[in-house]
Amino acid sequence: MADNSFSDGAPSDSSEAAKDASATEKLTDQVMQNPQVLAALQERLDSVSHTPSSYIETLPKAVKRRINALKQLQVKCAHIEAKFYEEVHDLERKYAALYQPLFDKRREFVTGDVEPTDAESEWHSENEEEDKLAGDMKSKVVIAEKEAEAAEEPAPKGIPEFWFTIFRNVDMLSELVQEYDEPILKHLQDIKVKFSDPGQPMSFVLEFHFEPNDYFTNSVLTKTYKMKSEPDKADPFSFEGPEIVDCDGCTIDWKKGKNVTVKTIKKKQKHKGRGTVRTITKQVPNDSFFNFFSPLKASGDGESLDEDSEFTLASDFEIGHFFRERIVPRAVLYFTGEAIEDDDNFEEGEEGEEEELEGDEEAEEEDDADASLKKEPSQPSECKQQ
C-alpha cells in the first residue's frame, strides 16, 4: 500500500511543476514583448559593453603596448605644458611691473592724496546724451540747493569707503564680513598683488594696506599663496596648469580689547566637593573676515583633512585667486558694480544654454516615445608672516 501511495503522488507533483514552469515561461514571454522593458535592457547592455575600459580590455596585447607608448608621450606633453605655465608666470611678473604705476595712481585718487586733472576725469558713458538732457532739465531747479550744500558741507576726500564697498558688492567677500568687521575695513586703502621673484618657487602675495586705526598697529596685512606647476607623479594626466597648494597668513597686532577674531564668554563651574559655584571667562574663536589671515594649513604629512576643513581650504584658495585675477586688476568696476553685472550675465547665459539643451533632450525623448507608440498597437608696520 505504501508503494502504491508513493507512486500515485509522483505524477501529481510533476504535473504541478510543469504547470508552474509553463506559467513562468508565459510571463517571461509577455514581459519580453514589452517594448519599454526591451529598450531598458538594451540600454543597460550598451552601457556595459561600450565603456572605454571594457573596450581596451578586448584589444590585442600588441595594441595595448602601443597605447602605453602614447601615454608616455602624454606625460611628456604635461611636463612641456608645466614649463609653458612657468613662462606665463614670468610674463605676469613682467606686466605687473607695468600695471603698478597705474595702480599707484589709483590709490592716490582713492585716498585723496592726489586730485585728478580735468583730462584724467573725463569719461564718456553710453548714456551720456540722455544724462546730459536730464541734467540740463534738473540744473535750473537744483543749482541753488547744490551751491548751498557745497557751502555747508566740506567735500569728501578721495573716494570714501572704496575697498569696503567692493567687499560689500561681491558676494564671495560679503559672506565673510561680519558687522563688527565693517568699521575696520573702512580703513582699507589699497590691495596689491606681488609675484614671486625669478628663480623662486611659484607664489603670489596679497597685501592689504590700512591707514592708522584704533584696531591694530599693522600698516600692512599679508597673505601668501604657494603654487605648484608640475604634473603629479602619481596622476600626471590630471595636470591642468598651476594650482594653489598652500597659504600662509600673518600675525595681526591687535590693540587691547579690539581683536574681533575672538570673543570672551563667561562660564559657571560648580565645585564637586564644596558645591560652591564660580564664574570663569575664556576666549573662543569668533567669525570674522580677519580669520582670512590665519588660514588652515594644507596637509603635508600624509594625514588627510576632514571634509569641512578641505572645503574651507578650497574656498580660501578660490578667494585668493579671485583677489588676484579679478578684484585687484578691475577694482573700479567692482566698486561701481559693472563687473558684477558682467559676471552675472555670463553665468545666466551658461545656465540658459544648459536649460535649453535639457529642453531639446526632453523634446527628443518625447519624439522617440511618440514614434514608439505609433509602431505599437498600444550646477604702522607690516605684519609678521605666520
Ordered by where they begin, the domains of the chain are 23-58 (no CATH), 81-116+157-257+290-298+307-336 (3.30.1120.90)
pLDDT for the residue 7: 45
| Contact of 317 with 225, CB cutoff 8 Å | yes
pLDDT for the residue 5: 44
pLDDT for the residue 146: 60
DSSP secondary structure, 166-189, as one string? HHHH-HHHHTT--GGGHHHHTTEE
pLDDT for the residue 76: 93
| Contact of 79 with 231, CB cutoff 8 Å | yes
| Cell numbers at 269, concatenated | 563651574
Output phi, psi for 65, to 5 deg: -60, -40
pLDDT for the residue 287: 94
Report the predicted TM-score, pTM, of the whole model to 2 decimal places.
0.69
> In tens digits, what is the pLDDT along the chain, a chain of 386 residues?
444 444 444 455 566 666 666 666 666 666 667 777 667 766 665 665 567 777 888 888 899 899 999 999 999 999 999 989 888 889 999 999 999 999 999 999 999 999 999 999 998 876 666 666 666 666 655 565 666 655 566 788 999 999 999 999 999 999 999 999 999 999 999 999 999 998 888 999 999 999 999 999 999 999 999 988 888 888 888 888 888 889 999 999 999 999 999 998 888 777 777 777 788 888 899 999 999 999 987 665 556 677 888 888 889 999 999 999 999 999 999 999 999 876 666 555 555 554 444 444 444 455 554 544 444 444 445 666 66
Output phi, psi for 87, to 5 deg: -70, -35
Q: Could you say which DSSP state residue 14 is in?
A: H
| Contact of 45 with 54, CB cutoff 8 Å | no
| Contact of 318 with 225, CB cutoff 8 Å | no
Stretch (H or E) spanning 266: strand 262-270
Q: Which of 235, 110, 201 is nearest to 162 (CA)?
A: 110
pLDDT for the residue 273: 74
Distance of alpha carbon 309 from alpha carbon 315, whole angstroms:
10
pLDDT for the residue 18: 62
Q: Which residue matches cell numbers 514552469?
A: 21
Q: Which residue matches cell numbers 563667561?
A: 266
Distance of alpha carbon 364 from alpha carbon 358, whole angstroms:
10
175 burial via Cβ count (<10 Å: 0-12, 13-18, 19+): exposed
pLDDT for the residue 280: 81
